[in-house]
Structure formats: structure tokens, C-alpha cells
Amino acid sequence: MSAPANITPRRALIVIDVQNDYDGGNLAIQHPPFRDSVVNVARAMDAAAAAGIKVVVIKQMAPESSPIFAKSSHGGELHPEIARRGRDHYVEKTLPSAFTGTDLEAWLRANAIDTLTVVGYMTHNCDLSTIIHAVHMGFAVEFLSDATGSVPYANSAGYASGRGDPPRRHDHPAVTFRGRTEDRRMGRVPEDRRLAGTRHDLRLQPAGAGAQRGLGPLRKRKGGRIAAAPFPFGI
């Protein structure tokens, strides 16, 4: 007899590197402004706790001499909005991926987690590294793109920051999983789908997992699959 087609995902919310250096410190998040995205990180944590979804808080560690995230420094500490909220597991890391050199995978397996919902900083660095690592390990991944952000960027596509710069007819140069699948391009997201706070993002999962987990229609992408997904906690 075949297994049921719709199996409820066992989620964990992964809160990555929400630390003081990103809040106007030596690596200030500006696109979108930190104050806007951290509110959504906090909302996601509250919604996860209310739904009985486990929350994992990740913290980047660096030597005391480092200009950012230095051990025992104010900039390296968790932001107060994160520090004051409950969590089920805490991970300290030294590299972009939250899996490298940590017990994160072992903890997730021990708790039978199969789906990760990722929030935090930065979009293109630690978030992306953790997401790719997770997919390679066989986890499904959801990314809440209004609960993240990046430092300013300038390249051939234009300039992006959160300081009220005049609008430009260029695409957002940061890497984001956002909007319709046909609009997702590595390094380019149309202006009308920048990190604007809608409740629909993209969900990544290992090939072949969609039918078993009931995650909806999928579109194939090299190395995995992508599916449109609503905010997973019902906010």
C-alpha cells in the first residue's frame, strides 16, 4: 500500500545571525533597512512558537580582534529582539553555513525535522550558504524574503540600499528567492518584487520530495525543485 500523498512537513525555523553589528554597526544591513526586516524576523519567531514549531537561533562567531562579530563584543551579541525570545536550540558557527562544524544537522535529525524555514542575515551569504547546504543534505527549505536583508550594492545593474535613494530602472543585484519562479534569476530580481514583504516566497526541496510532502506543484530546476509557497505559519 502506498504512503499518503499529503504528509505534514516537520518544520524548524532557522534564525541566522541576527546580531548587533547588522543594526547600524560595522556591517549595517541597509537593503531593506534592518529596522524593517528584523520586525518580520521577530514575527516569524512568535508565530513559530505559537504553532509549536521549533526555533533554532544561529550566531556568527569571530576572534576578539575581528572588526565584526568579535567574541565578547556588543556587535557580536544577538540583537535584543532575538535574545529576549525563546528558542529550542542555539548554534554558534564560524563559517557562512550554519551546518559547517556545528551540531545543527544532528539536532535536526534527532528531532525528525524535514523542512527548514530560514530567516536572518545576510541574504546572499550565510542565508544562501545554509540553504544550499540544507538542500544537499535532503532537507526542504523555505525562505522568508521579507525577513532578511543585505548591505548596499553597486554593480552594472545599478545601486541598491535602504537610504531613500532615488528609484532607478534597474533590477535588484542581490540574490533572493522571491515571487514567481519565472522571475527568479541569479543576481537579478525585478524592482516590483524586491524585498517588499509579501507572504509568498519560494520553497526549495530535494528532487522527488514534493509528492510525498504535499508541497504543491513544482517546477524543475538544476539540482533540485522549486515551488511557490505561502508563509508557512499562517501569519
Identify the bridge partners of residue 131 per DSSP, sorted by sequence position: none
Mean pLDDT of 13-30: 96
Please report where in the chains the cell 528531532 appears, as a residue: 111
Q: Residues with Cβ < 8 Å from 57, sequence gap 6 or more?
A: 15, 18, 78, 82, 87, 89, 90, 91
Tens digits of residue pLDDT in 214-229: 333 223 333 333 333 3
Share of the chain above pLDDT 70, in %: 63
Tens digits of residue pLDDT in 179-203: 222 233 323 333 333 323 333 344 5
Q: Are 178 and 127 in contact (CB under 8 A)?
A: no
The alpha-carbon radius of gyration of the chain (Å, integer) is: 17
Cα–Cα distance measured from residue 5 to residue 82, given in angstroms and rounded to the nearest whole number: 36
- Report CA 119 to chain centroid distance, whole Å: 3
Please say if the pLDDT value at position 79 is more than 80: yes
Confidence of residue 31 (pLDDT cuts 50, 70, 90): confident
| Nearest residue to 225 (alpha-carbon basis) of 129, 138, 128 | 138
What element of type H or E holds 15?
Answer: strand 11-16
**Is pTM beyond 0.85 here?**
no
Cα–Cα distance measured from residue 199 to residue 40, given in angstroms and rounded to the nearest whole number: 11
Tens digits of residue pLDDT in 120-131: 999 989 999 999
Q: Are 151 and 49 in contact (CB under 8 A)?
A: no
Tens digits of residue pLDDT in 135-153: 999 999 999 989 999 988 7
Cα–Cα distance measured from residue 75 to residue 199, given in angstroms and rounded to the nearest whole number: 30
Predicted local distance difference test score (pLDDT) of residue 42: 97
Q: Which of 12-26, 142-156, 168-182 has the highest mean pLDDT?
A: 12-26
